[in-house]
Amino acid sequence: MEIVLNWKMEKSHLEEILWCKENKEELIKLSTNNHFFILCPSFTSLQTIKEIFDKSEIEIGAQNCSQYLLGSHTGQVSAKSLKEIGCLYCIIGHSETRTELNENYYQIAKKTKALISQHINPIICIGETREEKDKNLTLDALAQQLEPIVQEIINLNVKEIIFAYEPVWAIGSGNTPLASEIYEITKWVKMYLKVTLPEVKTKVLYGGSISSRNIDELKNIFDLDGFLIGKASLDIQEIKKIVTSKGK
Ligand code: PGA
């Protein structure tokens, strides 16, 4: 299964490098155990961390990219640059990015296309807000998020695409949906994409407050392809417990 370690902006560049040097051996050891790590540090650390994990199974991913391929876009980072430094994955549409950078799913769809053009795997975050959940609008919200993405890539020759179901209310809150709810939503997302993009293999990860306390429950969810982990991914002991959990 895919284990995405989303470091957000929790550490500085030097702190990220130090963490990798200190925990390199342990992380490589854990990655052999049927778990495939995608480590997503800040932009500034990507290249150095790629070098640190050279010749290992651990891949690096960015936390965002520009919707444009090139040009006058001050402050942005292109998918092409990410590709050139060996980045094979990129998280897009994270709720923190959507909120703080005022981003919508039409832009996220364009980012998806930009990444695919550079043969980078997008990890596309989708998820409902607390309010949408309370009003029973989770699936409507997800359909609205997925639709522009489907429209943008329907005619591209995409083989595989990764989605991360991340309920906005679960991120950083200590709360998670029930395992049965995650199962139903994963099933629904896969079905939606099977109908709209029948040629594309879809993986669905879950993200939001994953830790050693709830991993046993989450590991049992049928057909879930992995996890996107925020806070717990900064602690090698937590990563170890998450990876070694056998489920309930
Ligand atoms: P969390 O973050 O695990 O700290 O809730 C998940 C995420 O934001 O991707």
Q: In angstroms, what is the C-alpha Rg of the chain?
A: 17
Mean pLDDT of the chain: 96
Residue 32 has pLDDT above 80, yes or no: no
Given this model, what pLDDT does residue 187 score? 97
3-state secondary structure of 222: coil
Give the residue-averaged pLDDT of 222-245: 97
Write the pLDDT tens digit of every residue in 107-128. Answer: 999 999 999 999 999 999 999 9
Query: How many A from CA of 155 to the centre of ligand 1?
Result: 32
Is residue 64 pLDDT above 80, yes or no? yes
What would the pLDDT profile of 41-60 be if each residue is shown by its tens digit? 999 999 999 999 999 999 99
Q: Cβ < 6 Å from ligand 1: which residues?
A: 6, 166, 171-172, 207-210, 228-232
123 CB-contact burial (10 Å; exposed 0-12 / middle 13-18 / buried 19+): buried
pLDDT band at 247 (very low <50, low <70, confident <90, very high): confident
- Reported as type and span, the H/E element at residue 6 is strand 2-6
φ, ψ at 122 (rounded to 5°): -75, 140
Q: Which residues are catalytic?
A: 94, 166
Report the atom number in ligand 1 closest to the C-alpha of 6: 9
CA of 70 to the centre of ligand 1 (A): 30
Percent of the chain beyond pLDDT 90? 96
- What confidence score (pLDDT) does residue 33 get? 66
pLDDT tens per residue across span 93-111: 999 999 999 999 999 999 9
Say what angle helices 236-244 and 13-30 make with each other, to 10 degrees: 30
Q: Using a CB cutoff of 8 Å and minimum separation of 24, what contacts does 14-19 make?
A: 16/41, 16/42, 16/45, 16/49, 17/45, 17/48, 17/49, 17/52, 19/234
Alpha-carbon dihedral sign for residues 215, 112, 193, 137: positive
The predicted-structure confidence for 172-221, as pLDDT tens digits, reads as follows: 999 999 999 999 999 999 999 999 999 999 999 999 999 999 999 999 99
What is the distance in A from the centroid of ligand 1 to the CA of 128?
Answer: 14
**Token digits for 127?**
């998820």
Ordered alpha helix ranges (H), the chain: 13-30, 46-52, 79-84, 95-100, 105-117, 130-134, 138-153, 179-196, 215-218, 236-244
Nearest ligand 1 atom to the CA of 171 is 5
* Segment 2-27 mean pLDDT: 98
DSSP 120-180: -EEEEEE---HHHHHTT-HHHHHHHHHHHHHHHHTTS---EEEEEE--GGGTTTS----HH
pLDDT, one tens digit per residue, over 138-148 is 999 999 999 99
